[in-house]
Structure 1
């Protein structure tokens, strides 16, 4: 678990999710502490089976039911969960319980939790445990082994090879070959072994940056649409070699962060709607095949299942705190989802702050980098632009800390709900797994730049961390084969000078900056030098310097009578 990821949310108290059969055989386990489940299972299973009649039963609107049981037997391996708590909670007595629900195939899905005693009995926490049971996409997949079918192994390896060739982004300390590739293959194998569509997920496409110096508008443009095409083509390539196909879920994180960065919830909704509209228009669903890309966000996660959401009461979250460092217009539904997110899976804010203050290396690096980024991203917000420089820095620091907290919460939630999925990320990772870094804009098509004058030279800092479509704009330069990804101000400044002309282009295929070079640019004012000589004639020399593809041209006049 990352050093900042300590807390007492539902995520942090989960020992693991598991599947078992009616006879008590453990079939699969997932979660940050799931390795302990295999160790403790004989004792735990005996406790569950011997106290089956003592289980509490919760009826659901659908007619299904959840059974819960407090575990009172002493099981030493349960103590390992304490390392997930902040130091102040690590020595409390633990209250352990299981909650189970029967699947459609007769197998039983369970969640095992151990919570500090002072926090036990909270009604929201009980709801959250049931929410995880109802919403997790956890499947009882078998791991890849020496006895695995050769054809299943071969297909899984081919998918990994396709990912490496088409989508993977390298890191400075890349662990793909050492351990990432086997982990990737193992995730894919679970689906292949059961002839199910391979499922992948990518938290991305939140909303456009609020800074007009970075982007051309508030709606998706050519940068996003290129990225969608890249993802779509990758999935379709999987389908060519694996008939059951694949689906990549884009998990929008717009409402996770929008209130931190000064973007109204309504703008996130509009961005999402246009993104989906563009994709479905260009890639209509094909009968008999699974969709290459699917989309969901916070409201889909928390509000789409009546079994879980209808049993929730808002009063359970009256004391929940969602920080809003900058001004935004927030909708009730999105604000409720943010509270649910933080309640289910947030890391402890106080612990994060303590790590920063004590200059824990990972925390300090993340905090400083995020603060610098947010200072730039927020600078044009109406509620920020009027602040003093000192106040702007303080606001950026508050937003940075909240962004770190929410990013960890969202990552934790995705881990709980989509544990079998192949997890992709737009951020730089070492590719050891469980997350694998992707490059949304291929090198053969788009080059990140910092200025148009230097556009033919790659930027070394972008080799491992690629700028995102939602923080930048696409620039097309007439006559150039590549397109360029840059802040909007790069294009705006270029057309203000003498070398380029152009403007923003609205296109059905996505907006971009269309730029072309001026046909002739005088680097300096042409100068005329008149030279006299003791001859009856005069020699006039006219010089002009013309910049065209770095060629210097000299024009000279002849003898004048």
Structure 2
């Protein structure tokens, strides 16, 4: 969406930024009106050199210039250390005011590095600069770039990135990269672990440090990533207090400092907040001069802001928000008009932010008291404000973003998590789909999610997902803080409940009663009474002998890659485990070859036999419960039950690929079942109609060969033929048989669905039968 022309703020009136020397020679001009200013530069010089007054961070108004229908206002900024001076040209809309000078000064203070005077390079230097820029571009493409829908990296985006990088490599200066990100933790605790940075932020910062390190290997001056922490920009919209934003930023800076110290450099990644960017304490209009932030706002005539979600604000952060909105936001009426006119880009952004805010604020105390319709209304109001504040004036030539962009430039979407070591998913299932933001606008971020450590795998998902699997008993574990020597920040550490961090096993009956220490992880132990109860209650075919237990257990052991190794004699025993995310638990009793191999492995060690027995008892206990969700069910398995149930999420039908992962998928399955049952009624009607067609066709042929006055094809004619009978030809019978087979197959498939005893599916079968009969069996009845 582009509303850059729909406003009268300083941002929307920005014509060009210029750099000139003491004699007034134009060194650089950049902006929408750069060519217009360059052509009329001689007319601007007298204004700029009229007087050499002492300049402050507040820019100085020096004059106006009119040429034809265009009128511009000229501002002079600071003198740089090298003797050059900055300036800014605004399109005029009225008399010059104090806020314009103030905001222009803020822009020029943060934009001095952007004025790179073109440097005349030799052919060799130009080739070297181009080669370095190409290396950095290729590195970004392979290391950090996020490829989304309608990606245009190869259709011009890479060339844009290359040109930006070359601006720095041509001067052999450090490349400056900008990333507006890391605002604050979401207020929704169903998403995150809390208010503080956790393992997700650590992983993201490590990735950014690693990217800069990789640049240093191909380009000696290196690079720097400026993280613009934009929490104060919209914290009042997302229900987060300013104090929490400040605390999050401080803790994040400490985390970044720890990472930089461990990697040998502290300047690869640096933070700046909205308060840091504006740096109000150095302004002529700052608090020491005006007495308070409110007095400063009154002097600059900055309008106040409306807060749709109650939050606790600080005076400085609130003033910065007011300055940003006054200096950058588009006209509210223009944005509202685009939404109401159903502009595709703006409407998609508005709906996306509405969905996002409805989810993000669902646990906010202010929203919990409201009805669903009222919540949606507030979410839409907040979404509108988010659209207004998203036009952040940052003039860095290389800008990264965590929003979904097509990578055509000037913004480029990045992956904050390394896909080689971290999986971003909607659930803990190994085959679950990749996470998609509810607003369809954001790349998954650490401040909207949490990290789950499952075995040796790291999964980024919602905290509610981790807490649910622990509460259900599917997995055990919980939230743990970072340990010494490990990556910092809290994360969920989960494991299968059949394994614990340490245990000892009683030896088999044939061995001594000595305890054998088992290496982590180990199988949980059971009391003797529980063991006897399981043995007595299990069916005879499962309790006859220990080897039969092994026939059930060892294939599970193999599938989960539990490796048994015994040393010479019985002096020691190693029991190690490695769970792979793609393991599949196969039918144990059918894997006879695996059983034989497993028996050959375990019969040599009594201790191993004892370990297997404990695994078997765990399996038997869950077998008696009649629950497929027992100790050996994978944490990413699905719910199945042969009793009446109302399962939705994690329900599985027919095949493992038909596993319900969202309410929408369940609704689609129900609609599919209705249509499938209706198709059965259609097939039944098709069989009937085909038989009638054959009779009519035979009646017509018979009537054509006789002198009977009966009209060929009439009902009486068909009735007379039917009374005599008709034997279909072989190809006609083949079609009848095919229709019957198809009808039988569909009916059998529906029967299989009904045998899952899912109430929703069975109701849909009834509905489909009713609708199918109503539509396809509505015919004229003949006595």
> Where on the TM-score scale, by shorter chain, does this alignment land: which range?
0.7 to 0.9
Instruction: From the two aligned structures, give the one with the greater strand fraction.
Output: 1
Note if 1:60 corresponds to 2:55. yes
Structure-1 residue corresponding to 2:256: 279
Structure-2 residue corresponding to 1:88: none
Distance in 2 of aligned mates of 1:59 and 1:244: 35
Distance in 1 of aligned mates of 2:249 and 2:337: 36
Structure-1 residue corresponding to 2:102: 127
1:2 offset after TM fit, Å? 0.9
Distance in 2 of aligned mates of 1:318 and 1:49: 31
Among 579, 584, 587, which residue is 1:552 paired with?
587
Structure-2 residue corresponding to 1:431: 407
What do residues 517-544 of structure 1 show as CA deviations (whole Å, max 9, x unaligned)?
A: 23299xxx9996799xxxxxxxxx99x9
Structure-2 residue corresponding to 1:247: 224
Scaled by the length of structure 2, the TM-score of the pair is 0.60
What do residues 21-63 of structure 1 show as CA deviations (whole Å, max 9, x unaligned)?
A: 34544332223x1xx32244232x221234567x47763359x
Note if 1:37 corresponds to 2:34. yes
Matched residue of 1:116: which SS? coil
Name the CA shift for 1:167/1:550 in 2 (closer, same or farther; >3 Å).
Answer: same
Note if 1:306 corresponds to 2:279. no
What do residues 249-277 of structure 1 show as CA deviations (whole Å, max 9, x unaligned)?
A: 11101111111111111111111111111
Q: Is the 8 A contact 1:255 1:334 kept in 2?
A: yes
Name the CA shift for 1:465/1:383 in 2 (closer, same or farther; >3 Å).
Answer: closer
Q: Is the 8 A contact 1:58 1:65 kept in 2?
A: no
Structure-2 residue corresponding to 1:459: 434
Structure-1 residue corresponding to 2:45: 49
1:497 offset after TM fit, Å? 2.1
Q: Is the 8 A contact 1:184 1:433 kept in 2?
A: yes
Farther-moved stretch of structure 1 (501-510 vs 292-301): 501-510
Structure-1 residue corresponding to 2:64: 70
Q: Is the 8 A contact 1:285 1:291 kept in 2?
A: no
Name the CA shift for 1:200/1:149 in 2 (closer, same or farther; >3 Å).
Answer: same
Structure-1 residue corresponding to 2:350: 367
Name the CA shift for 1:233/1:185 in 2 (closer, same or farther; >3 Å).
Answer: same
Scaled by the length of structure 1, the TM-score of the pair is 0.82
Note if 1:229 corresponds to 2:206. yes
What do residues 387-412 of structure 1 show as CA deviations (whole Å, max 9, x unaligned)?
A: 1111111111111111111112x2xx
Q: Is the 8 A contact 2:426 2:433 kept in 1?
A: no
Structure-2 residue corresponding to 1:140: 116
Matched residue of 2:235: which SS? helix
Matched residue of 2:195: which SS? coil
Q: Is the 8 A contact 1:171 1:464 kept in 2?
A: no
Matched residue of 2:236: which SS? helix
Matched residue of 2:92: which SS? strand
Q: How does 1:11-26 map to 2 (within 5 A)?
A: 11-26=11-26
Note if 1:323 corresponds to 2:303. no
Distance in 2 of aligned mates of 1:100 and 1:268: 32
Structure-2 residue corresponding to 1:112: 89
Name the CA shift for 1:482/1:28 in 2 (closer, same or farther; >3 Å).
Answer: farther
Name the CA shift for 1:50/1:29 in 2 (closer, same or farther; >3 Å).
Answer: closer
Name the CA shift for 1:426/1:255 in 2 (closer, same or farther; >3 Å).
Answer: same
Structure-2 residue corresponding to 1:336: 319
1:513 offset after TM fit, Å? 0.8
Name the CA shift for 1:52/1:129 in 2 (closer, same or farther; >3 Å).
Answer: closer
Structure-1 residue corresponding to 2:477: 502
Structure-2 residue corresponding to 1:387: 370
Larger relative contact order (C-alpha < 8 A, sep ≥ 6)?
1
Distance in 1 of aligned mates of 2:540 and 2:589: 16
- Runs of 5+ consecutive residues of structure 2 not aligned to the other structure: 291-295, 500-523, 525-533, 542-547, 561-583, 591-783
Name the CA shift for 1:279/1:102 in 2 (closer, same or farther; >3 Å).
Answer: closer
Matched residue of 2:255: which SS? helix
What do residues 125-154 of structure 1 show as CA deviations (whole Å, max 9, x unaligned)?
A: 222123322332322243899966111111
Structure-2 residue corresponding to 1:212: 189
Structure-2 residue corresponding to 1:99: 76
What do residues 354-400 of structure 1 show as CA deviations (whole Å, max 9, x unaligned)?
A: 11111111111111111011101101011110011111111111111
Distance in 2 of aligned mates of 1:61 and 1:25: 22
Q: Is the 8 A contact 1:56 1:68 kept in 2?
A: no
1:303 offset after TM fit, Å? 1.6
- Runs of 5+ consecutive residues of structure 1 not aligned to the other structure: 79-93, 532-540, 556-561
Name the CA shift for 1:114/1:135 in 2 (closer, same or farther; >3 Å).
Answer: same
Q: How many residues align?
A: 508
1:110 offset after TM fit, Å? 1.4
Name the CA shift for 1:160/1:129 in 2 (closer, same or farther; >3 Å).
Answer: same
Distance in 1 of aligned mates of 2:173 and 2:4: 36
Q: Is the 8 A contact 1:68 1:100 kept in 2?
A: no
